[in-house]
């Protein structure tokens, strides 16, 4: 018995709308001349004739084998996505718990605060993006920042919620907060009986050396 092993390029796609499918290959069929096209879905006679006219090689409704390396990458991505979703859910729950302590004049900002910019808010602030080095955030009320802070924070509210931000300069009620104490992935900083109390919200993962 004789055999040959080939390394081929595979393009996997599906048919949702016939017109959209044909339009895509009209624009790109030259890119797929040396590909094996794996098509999922119902294939009309019109599409079959079209692919043959374009001299494209195709098979239909075949499950392609996945290498272990690709499986591992996919599993790692799925695990990372699940972890991110769980962390986001926990952040949302924490924000919800604190929401009854936020004032009516809450301001929400979802853009990055860039170097050289200064944001001043009279009241509470929920910032959904990062604070770059050289940027400053000032609030007279409570502050929640869900991303990394590398700039300056000046807060006069009853509490803050910040991620681990070793490069930040944080002043809470005139007292500088030691950023080494913000060792967790997300931290709640409160003023209780004139004392600054730091509580972990999301603990930082520890990678042990094998």
Answer for the pair 111, 129: CB distance below 8 angstroms, yes or no. yes
118-121 and 136-139 strand pairing? parallel
- Residue 143's Cβ-side half-sphere holds a number of Cα atoms within 13 Å equal to 30
The residues spanned by each domain of the chain are 11-60, 94-202
For residue 151, pLDDT over 80 is answered with yes
- Helix, coil or strand: residue 19: helix
Q: How many Å apart are CA 27 and CA 19, to the nearest integer?
A: 12
Distances (CA, A) of 75 to 44, 70, 71, 122: 35, 8, 6, 46
Most confident region among 65-79, 95-109, 184-198 by mean pLDDT: 184-198
How far is residue 14's CA from residue 20's CA, in Å, rounded to a whole number? 11
In the prediction, which pLDDT does 81 show? 78
Structure confidence at residue 153 (pLDDT): 95
**Is a pLDDT exceeding 50 seen at residue 25?**
yes
Taking only the tens place, the pLDDT of each residue in 85-127 is 777 777 667 666 665 555 557 888 989 999 999 999 999 999 9
Among 38-42, 56-60, 98-102, where is mean pLDDT lowest?
98-102
**Class of the domain covering 94-202:** mainly beta
Q: Residues of the chain with pLDDT > 90: what percent?
A: 22
Beta bridge partners of 126: 108, 144
């Amino acid at each position: 018995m004789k055999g040959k092993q080939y390394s081929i390029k595979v393009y996997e796609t599906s048919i949702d709308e016939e017109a959209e499918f044909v339009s895509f290959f009209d624009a790109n069929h030259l890119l797929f001349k040396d590909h094996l096209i794996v098509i999922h879905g119902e294939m009309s006679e019109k599409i079959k004739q079209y692919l043959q006219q374009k001299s494209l090689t195709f098979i239909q409704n075949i499950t392609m084998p996945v290498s272990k390396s690709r499986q591992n990458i996919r599993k790692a991505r799925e695990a990372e996505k699940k972890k991110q979703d769980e962390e986001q859910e926990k952040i949302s729950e924490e924000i919800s718990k604190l929401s009854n302590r936020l004032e009516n004049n809450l301001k929400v900002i979802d853009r990055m605060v860039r170097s050289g910019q200064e944001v001043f808010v009279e009241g509470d602030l929920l910032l959904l993006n990062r604070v770059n080095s050289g940027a400053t955030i000032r609030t007279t009320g409570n502050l929640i920042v869900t991303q990394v802070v590398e700039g300056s924070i000046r807060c006069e509210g009853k509490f803050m919620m910040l991620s681990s931000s070793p490069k930040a300069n944080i002043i809470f009620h005139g007292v500088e907060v030691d950023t080494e104490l913000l060792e967790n992935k997300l931290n709640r900083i409160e003023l209780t009986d004139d004392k600054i109390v730091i509580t972990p919200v999301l603990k930082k993962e520890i990678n042990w050396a094998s």
